[in-house]
Every structure is written in structure tokens, then in C-alpha cells.
Structure 1
């Protein structure tokens, strides 16, 4: 009769092999396809896409435990000026972990905010180049503002204190001018996405 293993025994063997053969940390570049925080821990879904077709060619789950996440998140936000969110490219330091009961995960031990800043700057340059190629980048320079602008468009979060202050300043002007303010609601830097 063939010797059989329980699933737990098999998973324990896999965990031992990973611990022996992959003991260190690895820096990896990936895109965040999902990110959620639960009880202080951060759970990420990582993806790598083919550059030509934008089709996913690799996927993995990663976790950052609360003890580490409580340090990494504020550091990342302070340096980049924004929160981690889906669609963002990141460089993470990870180590492999295979738990007999929960399966495989990459455990995040560090994040390189400079990589993300460089990627954002590169993306901005690509967008500017595309707008220039389409001939629309400098269109706003052709517009002339009247001496007295009465219609104002504001891009802001509707609950932002600055938006409310701005509207109050316009309404309380000493010359009693009437302004038509139109809000274009947007998620601002630092808000949850």
C-alpha cells in the first residue's frame, strides 16, 4: 500500500523546503492590484503585466503585519505625499512564507518610496509627451481671463475644509461680488481610495 500524507503533513514539508531554500529577503517590483487593511495588517495583491498587451503574467499575495505596517505606511506617505493604492507600482522587500494551514504568501518587510516617486514622475512625463503630441498641452495658454472672473471651477473633495473656506471667502467679499462656483469632486492626496 502506498504511504499517504495528510494535507497538513504535505504543507509542512513544503514550508520546510521554502524555509531552507529561500531564507532571505528579495526586492521585487510589482503593481498593486488590490490593497486592504484589516485590524492594522495590510493585505496586498500584486500583479505584473505584459508591457504590450497589459495582460497579467504573474500574480501573488503579500502581507505586511501590523507591527511593520505601522512604520512603513507613514514613512511611505511622508516621502511620496500619497497613500498606497491599487494601480500603483511599488518596490517591496519580501520573504517567502508557507504556512501549513494558510498556504503561501510573500511577507513584506520594507518598501522603497523612491521607486514609486520615480515611476510617478516617469508616468507624468509620458502623459505630458502624449498631450504635446496631440497638440492639446498648451491649449489653456490661448485662453484669456476676463478682468473679473465670476464663474469658478474647483477641483476638490466636497468635504475638504479648504473648499468650504474658499467658498466662504468668495461669499463674504467686501465688494459684494457674486460668484458662481462649480465643484468637480475628486479624491485628494492622502484620502482613502
Structure 2
């Protein structure tokens, strides 16, 4: 495709320099810009920082630009920002920054950041904290952890901290000094304690404790040493709501005395330092011990008073008992004397009457015994006569029956039957009663009254009628 002579041709450098001149002419002074830091891109070695800036609306990106903060400026800005907000410049933060608009033919468009208004960010943080506080109260969870009941002696403690933290070491040293008197059971759940990553880290530690909540009486979050920088994580709604809903009492000791964070507000109780937390738990033991001592003193006093009252009562009872026993003994002695006199006076006549009764009874018993023997003798004689008569009759009857049976047996004897012409047939000495018991070829033995004959069976003709 050919170009006409009137058409101007520019190099890429021409366009770049033209844009550079135009931007430097129209944007010749710094501007305050409200934006969000999408990515910080800070380099430790060079000290320079190259933030990616973005503006969003309802999650949609409306604009994005690259920026640069030179090392000296970044160092100064960071220190001033942390001194005022107690929080380092970090990603996701909405800031108000002073920047100069630049364009370079090689490096393209960028913003050179000269300053960041920390008071604006502080206001944004305070605004977010207030909104989170209102939300906690609106959802009815602000006082949930405060409404829990702490055991009278919280012995089993879950500690969220870092093993190398000075605050944790102070806490453990104080607990250790009381160990001879109070027996604590403490388990550390390590977590980051400051910065944006602390939100997730502390929440994970709380979840681990909640999975074993039956093993603990309370939870404490302790942090010591350092300043207040990085504590904005404790104003996070996510972390504060997690603490507020936690099923065990949470005691905080984050270690600063400035503005109270949301997490500290929603805990069961907030102590400024880890040392205060340690003394709080020790005090619970000490209060219980003092209460036990007071109860022991009161109990001892009551026991002594009761023993004294019971001793007095026992003395009265003993005196009354002794008086009643003496009176009862005197009465019984008098009754015994009367009984003895009555027995002494009535004994001779009683013995005499009993002796006469026994003599009469003996004579009567002798007569009755003799009379009974005579009656029995008469009965035995009578029974003997009856038995002789009945026995004789029974023997005669049995003799007649035996004679009859003997005659019958004689008539039915085999010898008598054989003499009358009957025969007895046997096969192998076995009596044959039916023709069906025979088979051709059997050796048949026929017995007569005067001998026997042997024959072979040739043919068998059973009687069809039978």
C-alpha cells in the first residue's frame, strides 16, 4: 500500500517524545490521588518500591497504573506512615498519595509518588473499625464471649503466641513461679501476632483449639515486645467475630495500652500485658485458695462451737439418763422383792398341788395303759381267727383252679395230640405252621406219636381260600 506525498511519517521515538512534552506541559505539578495499592513490589536490595495502583467499583477494575517510590522517599514515607497509623504500608490498603505524572519513551507511563497522607489512611482505618464494631453489635455477637462462664479455677490453658515472644516468656516465667503452689496445664498454639497474615494465623490456631475444646478451660492471646505497629489485624471483623463466637472464654494480652482493638473489646476480659494475663489466672487460683482458707476457718469455728454445744447437751442427757436409770432400778428392785415374797408364800401350796396332780396323772396313766393293752390283745385274737378262716378258703380255691389247669394242659399236650393222629412238621428243627413257609427242595421232618419220617418237598399248593 503506497503513501501519498502529503502523509507525514513519525518514528516511535517522535510519538514518545511528543507525549512526554505534552504530559510534562499539562501535568507539571504533583496531584493528590486516592487509590488502592493492589501490589506493593518493594525491593529490599535497592530500596525502591514499584506499586501497582488500582481503582475498583463493585469488584470491577475501572483504572490501573504503575507507580514508583524511590528508595530515600520510600524510607521516609514508610517511617512517617507507621509512626502515625501503627501499620506498615501494605497491599489492599486505600491511600491518599501525592504523585507526579511522568511519561518516558522507553519506560512508558508512571506515577512518581512523593508522599502518602497517613492521616487519610488513619481515618479510613478508624472508619472501617467503627463499621466493624457496629456490625458486631448488629449481628448480636459482640457480647457472646463475655457471656461465657470461666471455671472457678481455670487450670487448662491454650496459649496463642510465639515461643520466642518476650511476652510469652514473661507469661511462662510468672506461671512457673506459682507452679509449686498452683498446677497449671499450658499448651502453646504458635501463630503470627501482627501484620495482615496474623488474621489467618490466629484464626487457624483458634480452630485447632476449638477441635479440642474439651481439653481446655480458657484461651489467651498474648503478645509482648515491640510497638503498636501491625496491630490493625486485631480490628479485622473476621478475627473479631471468630473470637466473639469462640466457645471458650478468651483472655487477651496483646501488650499495648493505646486504642483498644475490636478483638480486645469482644474477649471475655482484656488485660494489657501478658504479665497481667498470668496474674489474672494466678489470682483465680489464689482467690479460690483464700476462699478455701476462709471456709476452713469458718468450718473449724463452727465445729468447735458445735462440739461445745454437743458436750453440754451430752452432759444434760447423761444426767437425765443416770437419774432415770436409778429410778428405774429402784422400781425394778421393789417389784423383784414383791415377786420374791409372792413366790415364797405361794411356792409350798403350788408344789403340793402339782405333786398331787402328778400322782393322780400317774395312776390314771397306768390304768389307761393296762386297759389299752387288753383291748389290743382282744383285737389281735379276733384278727387271727379271721385270717385262719380266710386263708383256708383261699387255699382250697387255688387248689381247685390248679387241678383245672392241669387237666387242660394234659388235653393240649403234644404227645396226646400225636396219639390222636396229628403230626408235627419241621424243617431244620423249625416248626412249619403254613405251606407258604416251604419251598421245593426243603428236607421235611414229620414227627408221629411213635417216631418220625423224612421227605423232600416236591410241590407246594397253598389253599386259595386262606
Cα shift at 1:176: 5.2
Contact 2:40-2:51 at 8 Å conserved across structures: yes
Quote the Cα distance in structure 1 between the aligned partners of 2:163 and 2:35.
33
Q: Does 1:30 align with 2:72?
A: no
TM-score (norm: length of structure 2):
0.38
How has the CA–CA distance of structure 1 residues 26 and 102 changed in structure 2, closer, same or farther, with 3 Å as cutoff? same
The TM-score with structure 1 as length reference comes to 0.87
Q: Is residue 185 from structure 1 mapped to residue 185 from structure 2 by the alignment?
A: no
Whether 1:122 and 2:135 are equivalent positions in the alignment is: no
User: Which stretch of structure 1 is more off in the superposition, 165-174 or 32-41?
Assistant: 165-174
The answer to which of 167-176 and 110-119 deviates more is 167-176
Partners of 1:184 and 1:135 lie apart in 2 by 30
Partner SS for 2:110:
strand
Computed over aligned residues only, the root mean square deviation of the Cα atoms, in angstroms, reads: 2.3
Cα distance, 1:157 vs structure 2: 4.9
After alignment, is 177-186 or 30-39 more displaced?
A: 177-186
Which region of structure 1 is more displaced relative to structure 2, 159-168 or 23-32? 159-168
Per-residue deviation at 1:159?
Answer: 4.7
Q: In the alignment, is the contact (CA less than 8 A) between 1:171 and 1:179 conserved in 2?
A: no
Shift of 1:185: 1.2
Q: Which has the higher strand share?
A: 1
Label 1:136 to 1:8 Cα distance change in 2 as closer, same or farther (>3 A).
Answer: same
On the 8 A contact 2:161/2:188 being kept in 1, the answer is: no
Aligned partners of 2:190 and 2:128: how far apart in 1? 23
Deviation at 1:98, TM superposition (A): 0.5
Deviations 1:63-99 (A, max 9, x none): 1111211211111111111101111111100110101
Larger radius of gyration: 2
Alignment deviations for residues 11-38 of structure 1 (CA, whole Å, 9 cap, x no partner): 1111110000110111111111110212
Unaligned runs of 5+ in 1: none
Q: Is the 8 A contact 2:32 2:99 kept in 1?
A: yes
Report the number of matched residues.
190
**In 2, distance between residues paired with 1:182 and 1:33?**
35
CA distance in 2, matches of 1:89, 1:180: 41
For residues 141-172 of structure 1, the C-alpha deviation after alignment (integer angstroms, 9 at most, x for no partner) is 20122233233344445653333443444345
The answer to whether residue 54 in structure 2 is matched with residue 47 in structure 1 is: yes
CA contact 2:67–2:113 (8 Å) conserved in 1: yes
Q: 1:126, CA displacement in angstroms?
A: 1.1
Q: Which has the higher helix share?
A: 2
The answer for unaligned runs of 5 or more in structure 2 is 196-228, 231-466
CA distance in 2, matches of 1:139, 1:85: 32
Whether the aligned pair in 2 keeps the contact of 1:27 and 1:92 (CA below 8 Å) is yes
Structure 1 residue matching 2:49: 3-state secondary structure: strand
Q: Distance in 2 between matches of 1:104 and 1:149?
A: 62
1:93 matched to 2:98: yes
Q: Which of 88, 98, 113 is the equivalent residue of 1:83?
A: 88
| Whole-Å separation in 1 of the counterparts to 2:155 and 2:71 | 50
